[in-house]
Amino acid sequence: MAGHLARAGFAVTGYNRTFAKAEAWQKALAGEGPSVSIEADAAQAAADKDVVLACLGNDADVTAVLLGEGGVLAAMRKGATFVDHTTISPALARRIAEECARLGLHAVDAPVSGGQAGAENGRLAIMCGGSDAAMAKAAPVMDNYAARIVHIGGPGAGQACKAVNQVCIAGVLAGLAEGVRLAQATGVDTDKVLEAISGGAAQSWQMENRWQTMVRGEFDFGFAIDWMRKDLAIALGEAKAEGLSLPVAALVDQFYAQVQAAGGARQDTSALIRHLPEVNSK
């Protein structure tokens, strides 16, 4: 995502908690042409910048990097814009927005969907929470790596939308995994099955992009089961707080736990199929 900004001509400074990754990123971009700066300290990287964008791991990571006396938000200059692409709880997103308001900063919670391929190809879907003024500052930057940007509502609304997104993906992948196994069990040509049903009501992004790799047992596509379970925990927590039951999402989360325990924690979410026994095609 930062690479797209550098290619578009923005003056970019990068930071990664693993500095070697920042160095590798800088070297790779230099090979293409764009020159970027990197910093070993997050607050230093954010100082005096017009826009600061974060994409971290979970609530604890975001809290540690952003908040507090030596955090990123305190280092930012008044009037700057902070955009958080991390998937975190809506409650933390609202807390960050409150802290930004106190510091005179614009804030947008902007979780993304589209996975590693979406980021690399600049085709992410971004769901945003924040004020109209904050969105006006953030959107021209996000446009450089997004296929779709939707302003959902006020602070935390983007994160609430991402919870909905993950629940929907979980259900689709569960059905897709069972469909693949059924096709294999009946002995039909799975490529022909995909050709037939992907043109009808069963079609989905997951089917188009993951059916064939699930058949082949390939699960190295960037968005790990560890992260999906983190996201589902947020969704299930939000549902519980609202007195709502999400039985399918809860069941899929249990299936993911089985795949984690079998060594699939860092595999792509389509590895959900591994919770179903392999079958011998007829």
Q: What is the pLDDT along the chain (282 residues), one digit of tens a residue?
A: 999 999 999 999 999 999 999 999 999 999 998 899 999 999 999 999 999 999 999 999 999 999 988 899 999 999 999 999 999 999 999 999 999 999 999 999 999 999 888 999 999 999 999 999 999 999 999 999 999 999 999 999 999 999 999 999 999 999 999 999 999 999 999 999 999 999 999 999 999 999 999 999 999 987 899 999 999 999 999 999 999 999 999 999 999 999 999 999 999 999 999 999 998 765
What is the assigned CATH class of domain 161-275? mainly alpha
- Alpha carbons 25 and 13: distance in angstroms, whole number: 11
Q: Would you give the distance in Å from CA 6 to the centre of its chain?
A: 21
Write down the pTM of the prediction.
Answer: 0.93
Q: What is the pLDDT of residue 282?
A: 59
33 Ramachandran zone, left/alpha/beta (phi>0; psi -120 to 50):
left
Active-site residues, by number, are 162
Give the integer Cα–Cα distance in Å for 60 and 174. Answer: 29
177-211: b (≥16 Cβ within 10 Å) or e: bebbbebbeeeeebeebbeeeeeeeeebebbeebb
Question: Identical fold at 2-153 and 161-275?
Answer: no
Residue 176 has a pLDDT of 98
State the fold for domain 2-153.
Answer: Rossmann fold (3.40.50)
From CA 54, how far away is CA 226, in angstroms rounded? 19
* CA distances for 110 relative to 53, 86, 151, 239, angstroms: 10, 7, 9, 20
Q: Which among 171, 165, 66 has a CA at the least distance from the CA of 124? A: 165
2's tokens: 């930062």
* Burial class of residue 104 (count of CB atoms within 10 Å of its CB; 0-12, 13-18, 19+): exposed
Task: Delimit the domains of the chain by residue range.
Answer: 2-153, 161-275
Q: How far apart are CA 218 and CA 210, in angstroms?
A: 9
Which residue, chain included where needed, has tokens 């040509």? 189
